[in-house]
Structure 1
Amino acid sequence: MPCIMGIDSGLTVTKAVIFDETGTALAIARRRVPQLIPEPQHVERDMDGLWAATADAIREAVAACGRPASDIVAIAATAHGDGIYLLDDDRRPLGPAIVSLDTRAAELADDWNRGEVGDRALDLTGQKPHASAPSALLAWIRDHQPERYARIAHFIAAKDWLRFCLCGTIGTDRTEASTSFTDVQTQDYSSDAFALFGLQALSGRQPPMAGSTEIVGGVTAETARLTGLVQGTPVVAGLHDVTASALGMGGYGEGVIAVIAGTYSINETVSHVPKVDARWFCRNGILPGEWNNMSISPASTANYDWFIDQFCAADAAKAEAAGESIHAILGKEFEAARNRPSSVFFHPYLFGSPFGGASSAGFSGMNAWHDRGDLVRAVLEGIAFNHRIHIDALRDGFAPKTARLTGGISRNPAMAGLFADILGMPVTATRTEEAAAWGAALCAGACVGLFSSPTADPRDLALTETLYQPDAERSHAYEEKYQLFLDLAEAMKPLWPRLRRLGGSGQ
């Protein structure tokens, strides 16, 4: 029975997963990839370190699979989108990669959006520029690191760096190519886009674009030596991790919103005509004539992880030593808090928001009688409220009827039910493990004929999902809270830039 490998490199962990043709994971190996924060707003990673960690994970997965490496018939990678990975003329890393949590270019992007560049970019590329867009980051490097800018020979995305390390070819796929420099109508690169951002010098240096299911090379001899893979194993172009996650969870299509509650608040739906709006990115779908409409902000469960790290570390250590879970402990506190009135709100904007580069996180409405359970409740509700901002935008544009939820937090029935109540729509929580890696593997399998198309998922999805209907009474109560959440954010908009300046960041 043939196997396929999906590689998924997120913002903190890189994974190699080997699946059989039924979608069963045979081996999973993970390695942490440290983030480098050399100064405020700069979030980077070592490119060679990323490949070393990924190669190590591949080797472990191949060894643990219980099947010969020759059974792996194709490989595809996915990874965090946006950010920028640079290569020089020798095809070596040109400094550390800039990842998508980086906000050094936030003020530049905000300036573009306050002027005509933002509107022109929306019309031409299907999206307004933002802090981690390749356009903004490259312009920042042009302005602040001109010597580095002059040496750029290739600019690629995270998964394209892994592809290069696997098979030695430089390029990208349709979904990743559309992050800044494609015409939303033609779905191909546009020289006008480079000119719009003042990046004419890089026009012509963009990576060649392939289909997500297209073979772009074979595993090199050096990579085979490092990983245990068989030299010449087909490597497929792969796809942006947002799209891969929707595909892997069974949520890539029209009429449904795929909701990924992870580091980012990711909310997306597919259309067969381009429809542009400042509230979402209209980017290339997997196939020609498909558009993936994504409403996103870096404001989801990373806030919950931060809360645990900062305020629950001792309890988490005790729970782990006792064979328990801090999530179960906080879940009980959340349920107790949920059954009493609370005025506590949390804006989950530690890393960014839908409201521009100067926003920040904060609790509101706290009093002496509130306890940790009220804070946990506020954090989780704030995450769901922020997802609703994006989902309401997509409902305006595309009228989807249901949502599919994935991400570690979705495994908690209380959280899935919370999303249903706050969104006021049915939410299907999927227990798909490694959705993004499986999405990449579906592309690899389609390439070699295991599946008729990347959406021809062989699994019985009903076995891995639970449908949650909104509770009418709770939905009504949450409507009032959601409006207050928005009003508080509106009141903070003029204050957030002042707070940033007080902290020594921003202009």
Structure 2
Amino acid sequence: MDYLLGIDIGTSGTKGVLMDREGKIYVWAGREYSIDIPQTGWAEQNPKMWWEATIQVIREVLKESEVDPQQIRGIGLSGQMHGTVFLDKNLQPFRPAIIWADHRSSSQCEFIYQKIGKERLAELTGNPVATGFMCSTLLWMKENQPEEFNQIHKVILAKDYIRYRLTGNLGVEVTDASSTLLLDIKRRCWSEELLDILSLPLKILPEEVHESQEVAGYLLLDVARDTGLLEGIPVVYGGGDQSMQAVGNGVVRPGILSSTIGTGGQLFITLEKFTYDPKLRIHTFCHAMPNTYHLQGAILSAGLSLKWLRENILHTPDSYRIFDEEVEKIRAGSEGVIFLPYLLGERSPYMNPQAKGVFFGLSLKHHRAHLIRAVMEGVVFALRDCLEVFKELDVKIERVIASGGGAKSRVWRQIQADIFNKEISMTQSTEQAAKGAATLAGVGVGIYKDTEEGCKKTVKLKEEKIKPIAENVDIYNKQFEIYKSLYQDLKEDFKRLKRKGNIA
């Protein structure tokens, strides 16, 4: 029997799955790690920590599965997007990676808009500027740490570092390259025009941008010895975690929307041709199939908001299952409590790092369960804010697939159905990003003709579907109008707080 290994290098941990060609997951393993915050608003991780976690995950997958390593046909990779790994002339990391959650480059984001202009930036990259993106991070380093900037030989993304360690070959592929703000999205190559305008050297980027399913190299002997795998196993380029979760959920053709509630939250839909939002409220990235693209709305604090409430406010060890039981007793709308989930600022559709979290509408009648439900609703309101832009761009939605840790909650799935006013499906897939990476490995080594065939073989929908409840839809439509107006009413106050130095 043939097996495929998928590895997802995430923000909170690395996960691996072993899958057969029919999509059955035989075993999965994971290793958690943390984000380093050396200063307020900064977010870094040591790439060597990702590598150690990867080795441990592979070992555990092989041990638990008891599969003959000779039966593993290929390895695929998924990884957290946007961040920057800095390599010296020996191709070794010489400082911690600056990851997507980092906010230090806000002034550089403003500089990019001023230097290039929103209209031309949209045409070139299909994307708004955001802190934590490789482009703004490099500009920040050039301005604030010129000695370290001059030490750069190459910059790559998280999973690209892991692939380099696995194969010895340095490279990048289209989905992750899209997230750097340095790629000409339509042409699927580095934008020399943009690099020239910003005075960033092309030579520090990997020379060629590859398609995601291409074989990048073969497993090195020393890695085989460390993991128990066989030398020479093909390793494909893989993709950014959002493209890989989309593949893992079968979101590879237009009309299927994935709604992911993980640490952050994302809406994702496939495009057959390059389409972008001229107002730069959402992202357009290359998808993991040649000549395809996708729209993505990204919010920064989704599951993170509920984790924050549990740990920082409620100080409770209660499980999220207990939260669900409590929340089911509270009516839709949380009896007037509305939560703005801008705990890390917000990306789509506002691109505002100064935005802050807000509870609105509290009174003496409200208690813990109201706050929990309001947070869950607020996260989905933020996703609907992105969905409204999709609709404005005339994107048709036939099906919504819930994904991520939030999809495990039936309450949260019902809230999505009611706020989106769409039926919610789920796939039988678990660890979708790692599974998507494994599927792409199957394409790369010829087990599947293409990604669409791979998804037909490996992705199956669950029978249960969550339908919108008409009464709840009406409540949420009215509350969503208040939700949107709250941001508009408060955005100047967010700026004033920042200017006065009253908050970090």
Q: Structure 1 length as normaliser, TM-score?
A: 0.94
- Cα distance in 2 for partners of 1:138, 1:286 equals 25
- Cα distance in 1 for partners of 2:422, 2:44 equals 38
Query: What does residue 226 of structure 1 align with?
Result: 226
1:312 to partner: Cα distance: 4.0
Q: Is 2:278 the partner of 1:285?
A: no
Of 489, 492, 498, 1:491 maps to 489
Maintained 8 Å contact 1:43/1:99: yes
Maintained 8 Å contact 1:252/1:258: no
Maintained 8 Å contact 2:424/2:467: yes
Query: What does residue 70 of structure 2 align with?
Result: 70
1:19 to partner: Cα distance: 0.9
Deviates more, 1:425-434 or 1:25-34: 425-434
- Cα distance in 2 for partners of 1:360, 1:339 equals 24
Change (3 A) 1:339 1:75: closer
1:310-360, CA deviations, whole angstroms, 9 ceiling, x for partnerless residues? 2344442xxxxxxxxx22221122122226861211111112313211011
The 5 A counterparts of 1:388-467 are 388-397=384-393, 398-456=395-453, 457-459=455-457, 461-464=459-462, 466-467=464-465
1:114 to partner: Cα distance: 6.2
The 5 A counterparts of 1:157-168 are 157-168=157-168
- Cα distance in 1 for partners of 2:13, 2:417 equals 29
Query: What does residue 6 of structure 1 align with?
Result: 6
Deviates more, 1:218-227 or 1:382-391: 218-227
2:292 is matched by which residue type in structure 1? E
Aligned to 1:8, the other structure's residue is in SS state strand
Change (3 A) 1:247 1:369: same
Aligned residues: 496
Aligned to 2:492, the other structure's residue is in SS state coil
RMSD after superposition? 1.9
1:247-279, CA deviations, whole angstroms, 9 ceiling, x for partnerless residues? 101223201211111112211111122112112
Change (3 A) 1:463 1:285: closer
1:293 is matched by which residue type in structure 2? L
- Cα distance in 2 for partners of 1:484, 1:340 equals 12
2:18 is matched by which residue type in structure 1? I
2:482 is matched by which residue type in structure 1? L
Q: Is 2:127 the partner of 1:130?
A: no
Identity of aligned residues (%): 26
- Cα distance in 2 for partners of 1:385, 1:109 equals 26
1:490 to partner: Cα distance: 0.9
Q: Is 2:292 the partner of 1:335?
A: no
Query: What does residue 154 of structure 1 align with?
Result: 154
- Cα distance in 2 for partners of 1:216, 1:295 equals 29
Aligned to 1:493, the other structure's residue is in SS state helix
Structure 2: give runs of 5+ residues left out of the alignment: none
The 5 A counterparts of 1:342-357 are 342-353=335-346, 354=348, 355=350, 356-357=352-353
Change (3 A) 1:184 1:210: closer
Structure 1: give runs of 5+ residues left out of the alignment: 317-325
Maintained 8 Å contact 2:427/2:461: no
- Cα distance in 1 for partners of 2:77, 2:186 equals 27
- Cα distance in 1 for partners of 2:463, 2:80 equals 25
Query: What does residue 191 of structure 1 align with?
Result: 192
- Cα distance in 2 for partners of 1:340, 1:222 equals 56
- Cα distance in 2 for partners of 1:412, 1:430 equals 14
- Cα distance in 1 for partners of 2:15, 2:186 equals 35
Of 469, 473, 477, 2:467 maps to 469
- Cα distance in 2 for partners of 1:167, 1:504 equals 49
Q: Is 2:362 the partner of 1:366?
A: yes
Query: What does residue 238 of structure 1 align with?
Result: 238
1:177 is matched by which residue type in structure 2? A
Q: Is 2:382 the partner of 1:381?
A: no
Change (3 A) 1:92 1:116: closer
Maintained 8 Å contact 1:118/1:129: no
- Cα distance in 1 for partners of 2:296, 2:57 equals 30
Maintained 8 Å contact 1:154/1:207: no
Aligned to 1:329, the other structure's residue is in SS state helix
Query: What does residue 209 of structure 1 align with?
Result: 209
1:391 is matched by which residue type in structure 2? L
Aligned to 2:474, the other structure's residue is in SS state helix
1:52 is matched by which residue type in structure 2? E
1:401 is matched by which residue type in structure 2? E
Maintained 8 Å contact 2:212/2:440: yes
Maintained 8 Å contact 1:282/1:293: yes
- Cα distance in 1 for partners of 2:463, 2:202 equals 45
1:227 to partner: Cα distance: 1.1
- Cα distance in 1 for partners of 2:478, 2:384 equals 13
- Cα distance in 2 for partners of 1:500, 1:177 equals 32
Q: Structure 2 length as normaliser, TM-score?
A: 0.94
- Cα distance in 2 for partners of 1:187, 1:460 equals 28
- Cα distance in 2 for partners of 1:203, 1:488 equals 45
Maintained 8 Å contact 1:107/1:357: no
Query: What does residue 301 of structure 1 align with?
Result: 303
2:294 is matched by which residue type in structure 1? N
- Cα distance in 1 for partners of 2:206, 2:333 equals 55
1:164-201, CA deviations, whole angstroms, 9 ceiling, x for partnerless residues? 111111001121122212223322222002123331x2
